[in-house]
Amino acid sequence: MDHVGIWKYNFELSIRPSEGCCRYAIYGLGGCGKTALALETAYRTREQQPQRAVFWVPAIDQADFEQAYREI
């Protein structure tokens, strides 16, 4: 299992269906598979829990994050 596979496995273990809102932050060095993990998780969440919404929010800096958050 490559490092992306390990991340995905560990991340899936931490995600449990719940009644409320959930927030997750994925961070790490460039090229370690953050985007692949986020996309896979978003697609699986959509398939398994279609009533939920997944929002992709950039966090390059605080201003970008706040703007994206307001737009949601």
- The residue written with tokens 């560990």 in the block is 10
**Which pair of structure tokens corresponds to residue 28?**
């790490």
Write the pLDDT tens digit of every residue in 31-71.
888 888 888 888 888 888 888 888 888 888 999 989 988 99
pLDDT for position 14: 57
Total domains in the fold of the chain: 1
pTM above 0.75, yes or no: no
- CA distances to 40, 42, 64 from 15, in Å: 13, 11, 26
pLDDT for position 62: 92
* Domain range enclosing 46: 3-71
